[in-house]
């Protein structure tokens, strides 16, 4: 069977006139160059060179095939260069999925920077309440809160800690009496909802603290939940990674150890080396980890201290 790589040896020997010079040109031994030429002749069933004491001379058959061999080599080189360019080219569409509350708060300025750094990458931001399956190709990259991923094939980067806890707006904190115990919290209206991916866990959190009866309003989306709390309507549970970096929000209560969660940037292992996916993973991963290391935007203590929260 013809080994297309042997054409390189044929061309090198034809150009230099010897297997010694061809070997030097290709950085192999003279023996290897001679062996590869002989293998090509055997595969083709023709004699390409006359072996003379002065070196290798093309036969008439070799001369006739030389032009075609050069064309094949040129095409192979062009193919290799095109493939290398593709591997370096960070362009195309990347589908990014996350819960809406991340997508409307932290991500817009980061995506602006990403576009400036990689203008050929087009981002499709999916904030659907349906969890997208990366293994099934429903999205390329996911920003998710929770424990370390255990699903087969998922790879990524831990961004940092992201427990959910209770927040209010600065205007609400300024206009309302500061709670001194968990019992006092029941006197404050709770904004519930956040959509089907948020509300079930949020509701369990409220039930555990005995605050479920204080829900005054429910929103069907996390962006609505955020808008309501910013308006000064009441208190709501939000992800700390986002809320601690919002200058308009005040942490009401420190999270319980049982509520510890982590934020992860994930993709599937089959995509991890795709240039456009790798570029987005590297860019967002670096920026988000920098945010995590920088910590909250201010050092405000919680509106309700831990010892007060434990009071009945």
Question: Each residue of 277-309: pLDDT tens digit?
Answer: 999 999 999 999 999 988 776 655 676 665 555
- Shared-domain flag, residues 76 and 127: no
Instruction: Over range 32-58, report the average pLDDT.
Output: 91
CA atoms within 13 A on the CB side of 234: 19
Compute CA distances 94 → 11, 111, 118, 152, whole Å.
43, 12, 12, 21
Residue 250 near residue 167 (C-beta atoms within 8 A): yes
Higher pLDDT residue, 282 or 81?
282
Task: Name which of 262, 295, 240, 283 is nearest 141 in CA terms.
Answer: 283
Final residue of a structural domain among 61, 88, 115:
88
Share of the chain above pLDDT 70, in %: 91
Closest to 104 (Cα-Cα) out of 205, 200, 239: 239
30 and 175 together in one domain: no
- Nearest Cα to Cα of residue 127 among 154, 112, 107, 152: 107
Q: Are 136 and 16 within one domain?
A: no
Tell me what pLDDT residue 93 has.
Answer: 94
Could you give the CA distance from residue 267 to residue 100 in angstroms, rounded to a whole number? 18
**CATH number assigned to the domain comprising residue 52:** 1.10.10.10
Tokens of 270: 């089959």
Q: Which region among 34-43, 76-85, 93-102 has the lowest average model confidence (pLDDT)?
A: 76-85
Confidence of residue 198 (pLDDT cuts 50, 70, 90): confident
Residues 178, 282 within the same domain: yes
CATH at residue 117: 3.40.190.290
Residues 27 and 121 in one domain: no
Confidence of residue 222 (pLDDT cuts 50, 70, 90): confident
Q: What is the CA radius of gyration of the chain?
A: 32
Q: What is the pLDDT of residue 257?
A: 74
Domain count along the chain: 2
Q: What is the model's pLDDT at position 312?
A: 46
Asked whether residue 131 is assigned to any structural domain, the reply reads yes
Query: Which of the 8 DSSP states describes residue 304?
Result: B
Percent of the chain scored above 90 by pLDDT? 49
Tell whether 163 is covered by a domain: yes
Residue 85 confidence (pLDDT)? 55
My answer on whether 165 and 263 are in the same domain is: yes
Using CA of residue 92, residue 98, residue 101, residue 105, what is the dihedral sign?
A: negative
> What is the average pLDDT score of the chain?
86
pLDDT of 74 reads 83
196 and 263 within one domain: yes
pLDDT of 82 = 62
Q: Is 277 exposed, middle or buried, given 0-12, 13-18 or 19+ CB atoms closer than 10 A?
A: buried
- Give the Å distances, CA to CA, from 308 to 26, 47, 61: 78, 94, 95
- Alpha-carbon span 165 to 169, nearest angstrom: 14
Domain boundary among 55, 88, 121: 88
Domain boundary among 88, 114, 137: 88
Q: What pLDDT sits at residue 301? A: 64
Q: Does 1 reside within a domain?
A: no
In a domain, 221, yes or no: yes
Burial class of residue 259 in the structure, from the number of CB atoms within 10 Å of its CB (0-12 exposed, 13-18 middle, 19+ buried): middle
Whether the per-residue pLDDT at 256 is higher than 50: the answer is yes
Beta bridge partners of 56: 51
70 and 112: one domain?
A: no
Domain that holds residue 206: 90-312
Segment 150-191, tens digit of pLDDT: 777 899 999 999 988 899 999 999 999 888 787 888 889 999
How does residue 125 score in pLDDT terms, banded at 50, 70 and 90? very high
Statement: residue 13 has pLDDT above 90:
yes
Same domain, 81 and 143: no
């Amino acid at each position: 069977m013809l080994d297309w790589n042997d054409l390189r040896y044929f061309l090198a020997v034809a150009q230099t006139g010897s297997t010694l010079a061809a070997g030097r040109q290709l950085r192999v031994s003279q023996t290897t160059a001679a062996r590869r030429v002989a293998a090509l002749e055997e595969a083709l069933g023709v004699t390409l060179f006359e072996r003379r004491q002065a070196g290798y001379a093309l036969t008439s058959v070799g001369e006739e095939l030389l032009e075609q061999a050069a064309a094949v080599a040129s095409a192979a080189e062009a193919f290799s260069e095109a493939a290398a360019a593709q591997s370096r080219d960070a362009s195309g569409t990347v589908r990014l999925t996350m819960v809406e509350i991340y997508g409307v708060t932290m991500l817009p300025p980061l995506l602006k920077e990403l576009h400036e750094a990689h203008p050929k990458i087009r981002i499709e931001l999916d904030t659907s309440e349906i969890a997208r399956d990366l293994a099934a190709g429903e999205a390329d990259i996911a920003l998710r809160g929770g424990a370390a991923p255990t699903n087969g094939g998922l790879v990524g980067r831990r961004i940092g800690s992201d427990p959910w806890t209770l927040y209010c707006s600065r205007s609400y904190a300024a206009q309302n009496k500061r709670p001194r115990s968990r019992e006092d919290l029941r006197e404050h209206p709770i904004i519930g909802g956040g959509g089907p991916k948020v509300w079930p866990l949020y509701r369990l959190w409220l039930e555990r603290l005995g605050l479920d009866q204080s829900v005054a309003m429910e929103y069907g989306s996390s962006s609505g939940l955020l808008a309501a709390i910013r308006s000064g309507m009441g208190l709501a549970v939000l992800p700390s990674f986002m809320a601690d970096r919002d200058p308009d929000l005040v942490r009401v209560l420190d999270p319980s150890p049982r509520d510890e969660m982590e934020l992860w940037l994930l993709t599937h292992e089959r995509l991890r080396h795709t240039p456009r996916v790798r570029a987005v993973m590297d860019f967002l991963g670096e920026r988000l980890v920098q945010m995590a290391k920088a910590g909250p935007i201010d050092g405000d203590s919680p509106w309700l201290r831990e010892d007060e929260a434990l009071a009945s």
